[in-house]
Amino acid sequence: MALLLLLSGCANSASTKNSSAETNEKADAQPKQGGELTYALATSPDSLDPHRSGLAVAGRVFRTIFDNLVIQAEDGTIQPWLATEWTVSEDGKSYIFQLREDVKFHDGTPFNAEAVKFSFDRIIDPKTKSGNALSLLRPYVSSEVLEEYTIKINLATPSAAFLSNISQNQLGIVSPTAVEKYGDQFGKNPVGTGPFKFVNWTENADIQVEKNSDYNWGPSNVENKGKPYLDKISFKIVPEEATRIGSVQSGQVLAAETVPPQNIATLKNDPKTQLLTVNTIGLPYTLFFNQRKEPWNNVKARQAVQLAIDVDSIVKTLYLGTYERSWSPLTPGIVGYDKSLEGSVKVDIDKANKILDELGYEKGSDGIRVKDGKQLTLNYVDGSPNREKRNDIAVIVQQQLKRIGIKVEINITKDVASVIYTNADYDLYGNSQVNSDPNALRAIYHTRTPEEEAVFKGLPGGSDTELDQLLEQGTSELDQAKREEIYKKAQQKIIKDAWIIPIYVFPYTVAASKTVNGITFDALGYPLFNDVSIE
Amino acid sequence: MTLVNKVLLKISTAFVSIIGSSILVFSIIYLLPGDPVLSMIDPSVATPEMVANLRKELGLDQPFYIQFSEYFMNVLQGDFGQSVVNSEPVLPKIVEHFPATLALTITSAVLSVVIGVTFGVLSAIYRNKWIDIIARIIGLFGISMPTFWSGILLILIFSVYLNWLPSIGSDGWKTLVLPSLSLGFVGAGFIIRMVRNSMLDVINEQFIVTLRAKGLSERVVMYRHALRNALIPAITIIGLNIGELLAGTVVIETVFSRQGIGRIVADAIMAKDLPVIQGVVFFSAIVYVVINLLVDLSYSFIDPRVRRAH
């Protein structure tokens, strides 16, 4: 017997209040039609093919051009979009989706089960060279078109993350005719069913999309389910921070993403601009120990570092109160986030010193600890450029660990791929990941197979049978409450055994002119433009 | 050696430099540490099989000499390969973006020459007067201020506060003003110093004294004779300066969000998009060599001594 999960119509309009944005004063007034929104992006998308690009910046554009089968609301529930309802088989290995019958692609191609099958089969086709989309779609095996608007999707193993994953912008449904027409160049000529149609992409200048007047199938996380109010959006590519903020202040663009912390205060006081902030979800910015190395394979050594790093003061000093400190391997807002971890780790220098004493490290004349003639050093690797002041975190950690006699050597490199993932030549390394499901933990914290290690060394290289079991159960547990419990246990275990030092939750910030109303964000923190109007 | 022979020799040397630079670029990129495949897919989500497939697809599992000879044969046929990021062919991409870089380079060069020569001459003629001091300050700023800093400063003043000129984009002359000013200032700084020094040297030379003694007006002495002689070293600087300008576009195009090959190569480096990096560097090498060839040849027309030496 099939388990009926969700029916259409249970739209939850409250879910759009995701952002801590200043509320628009004229929310009640009828939004004004027309106009062009200019929106400055911090980097350039590599491709507008959702199945081939894994860049967050491309994701911000995908939400205008492509729709998904389902959408994830802020509370983590999965709600209808291009699929009106769905059922899951008892073994959790097949899904049957009923699709909307009134949808067509921008090029006139009808949207149906064939198009969904085409999109998903395209992702698993090695010729597509799909990266992130492929890992999100797994364990997908195949699709069967049951009727024109009914599709059955088969998975290799049950996956509790599947619905959440297919709501992510990289699994947007693409037009089969357009893919056949443009082939390899689909990423420069994207065609979907979204609220905006792709018009033009001038490399390093702008990406233009225009209103899809036929649009009538907006998801539950936007108010305006019909055609957008805006005529056009022009995404300008402005990599230089100061220029980007300057362009909003001078009025050359109406909105700009990724505001640096030092500009946030100024912009808040600027009568002409408003500031929108939303915390992204997934894995926070986290420092990972390399457990392949001595002494970091020893939980005691890791705990000493955990007790000596004052994360609060790092986050306050560098981000001036604009970033939230993180406590868990997951960010708040994700399914199963364990709030009880907040405040659980306290700085304790004496205890940290005592642990290192017990481990046999004695302070030398220069204050650095020595054991068997070797200094206790920690090779801290971080990427370049200094994204979100991550390199500055390294410098503060260096100062803080000096207090307990650990010498930190900072290595800032552009070539993280070979230093970290090929050679694993680090003791501590920082990274973050945007993701919609706690299953993201599995890729990082599950014991790696020798085959995986042979190709690249994952983070953080530890192994724990109990944690492995939790992460496996989490993947296949379909009962939401039980699943949350499993992930809470996993988070507690990771923090208790000091696998990592979580640092901050990355907020996506947008500075916009006060004349712009209605920019909202999806569950992952990607902007939505369905409700945007310009006064 | 006749002029024709000399020109032919210069052209063939230029050709050798271009081939040499292509080998150099290819080797450097090949020898760089790091795996381009791992930078293309997020290593935390990739599977070993995905990585292996992609590496094979891109031909990165082949030994160096095969990769290089294939690349070079293709380049000879005008095929610079495809971007590994979005499969776009490299040459059309460069051809599309080069005009914007060229426009920026030329405007900056012209600005640097106009500002540099004017202030250089004036500061030599009015040595130690106020105009000399101003010229020297401009020169000092031009040389010591990094372009990204002067660029942001110009944006703050002319775009954010005065709202006169756009801060971003690359369409129309208005978008050219601020970037070429900030880039042109660097060159101007060097040219001011060069022209000033060589003018001062020339002014004290015997032939100037002779010219003055012959009763020529000061204006003719300065602008027809002294300046002409002082320009020779300045032109060398301008020639080298164009190479600097081409390199400077990488920073300036990013600061002002302009299109251009500097932006392309900066993006490609971040994405480890090898075919694009190779293509742009190779292309820039050609441009640089050609410009230096032209500068070399232009001496002959400005300085009769060089012409006669043929």
Diameter of chain A measured on Cα atoms: 78
Name the more confident of B4 and B146.
B146
Q: What is the pLDDT of residues A60-98, one digit of tens each?
A: 999 999 999 999 998 889 999 999 999 999 999 999 999
| A418 in contact with B, Cβ within 8 Å | yes
Q: Indicate the pTM of the whole model.
A: 0.82
Q: How many CB pairs under 8 A join A and B?
A: 142
- Give the contacts of A421 (CB within 8 A, at least 6 positions apart): A456, A457, A458, B35, B38, B43
ipTM for the whole complex: 0.76
Spatial contact of B275 and B40, defined as CB atoms under 8 Å apart:
no
Cβ-in-10-Å burial (0-12, 13-18, 19+) of A452 comes to middle
| A262 in contact with B, Cβ within 8 Å | no
Pairwise CA distance, residues A362 & A128, whole Å: 56
- The pLDDT value recorded for residue A44 is 87
Q: What is the pLDDT of residues A350-369, one digit of tens each?
A: 999 999 999 999 998 899 99
**What is the mean predicted confidence (pLDDT) over A405-429?**
90
Strands ordered across the beta sheet of A362-363: A362-363, A369-371, A374-375
Pairwise CA distance, residues B271 & A45, whole Å: 11
Q: What is the pLDDT of residues B277-310, one digit of tens each?
A: 888 888 888 888 888 788 777 776 666 666 565 4
CB contacts, 8 Å: A458 with chain B: 43-44
Spatial contact of A532 and A512, defined as CB atoms under 8 Å apart:
no
Q: What is the pLDDT of residues B199-240, one digit of tens each?
A: 888 888 888 888 888 888 878 887 777 787 777 777 777 777
| A57 in contact with B, Cβ within 8 Å | no
- The pLDDT value recorded for residue A149 is 97
Neighbours of A3 (CB within 10 A): 10
Q: Residue A390's closest CA among A411, A419, A418, A417?
A: A411
- The pLDDT value recorded for residue A425 is 93
**Cis status of the peptide bond prior to B99, with omega within 30 of 0:** no
| B43 in contact with A, Cβ within 8 Å | yes
Which range (A150-154, A281-285, B219-223) has the least confidence?
B219-223
- 196-215 in B: which are within 8 Å (CB) of A? none
- Give the contacts of B114 (CB within 8 A, at least 6 positions apart): none
At residue A24 the predicted structure's pLDDT band, cuts being 50, 70 and 90, is very low
Name the more confident of A309 and B220.
A309
Indicate the angle between helix axes B130-144 and B90-125, nearest 10 degrees: 150
3-state SS, residue B231: helix
CB contacts, 8 Å: A251 with chain B: 163
3-state SS, residue A508: strand
- The pLDDT value recorded for residue A22 is 42
Cα separations in angstroms, A250 against A464, B150, B157, B198, B254: 55, 18, 10, 44, 18
Which residue of A136, A207, A240, A413 is the best one to mutate when testing the B interface, meaning the one whose CB has the most B CBs within 10 A? A240
- Distance to chain A for B255, nearest Cα, Å: 5
Whether the pLDDT of residue A12 is over 50: the answer is: no
Residues in chain B, total? 310
CB contacts, 8 Å: A202 with chain B: 259
- The pLDDT value recorded for residue A444 is 92
- Distance to chain A for B267, nearest Cα, Å: 8
- 342-381 in A: which are within 8 Å (CB) of B? none
Pairwise CA distance, residues A309 & A349, whole Å: 9
Neighbours of B110 (CB within 10 A): 13
* Average pLDDT value for chain A: 90
- 62-101 in A: which are within 8 Å (CB) of B? none
**What is the mean predicted confidence (pLDDT) over B49-67?**
78
**What is the mean predicted confidence (pLDDT) over A335-361?**
95
Neighbours of A287 (CB within 10 A): 24
- The pLDDT value recorded for residue A8 is 36
Spatial contact of A69 and A192, defined as CB atoms under 8 Å apart:
no
**What is the mean predicted confidence (pLDDT) over A369-380?**
94
- The pLDDT value recorded for residue B39 is 65
- Distance to chain A for B57, nearest Cα, Å: 9
CB contact under 8 A, A253 and B257: no
3-state SS, residue B117: helix
**Chain B: residue nearest A385 by CA?**
B270
Say which of A134, A237, A251 has its CB closest to residue B50.
Answer: A134
At residue B1 the predicted structure's pLDDT band, cuts being 50, 70 and 90, is low
CB contacts, 8 Å: B169 with chain A: 205, 236
CB contacts, 8 Å: B33 with chain A: 415, 418
Cα separations in angstroms, A375 against A288, A301, A304, A360, A372: 21, 14, 16, 12, 8
Q: What is the pLDDT of residues A106-142, one digit of tens each?
A: 999 999 999 999 999 999 998 888 878 988 898 999 9
CB contacts, 8 Å: A456 with chain B: 38, 43, 46, 48, 51
Q: Please give the helix or strand (H or E) that residue A465 lies within, else none.
A: helix A465-476
Buried b (16+ CB within 10 A) or exposed e, A261-279: bebbeebeebeebbbbbbb
Q: Residue A227's closest CA among A244, A209, A206?
A: A209
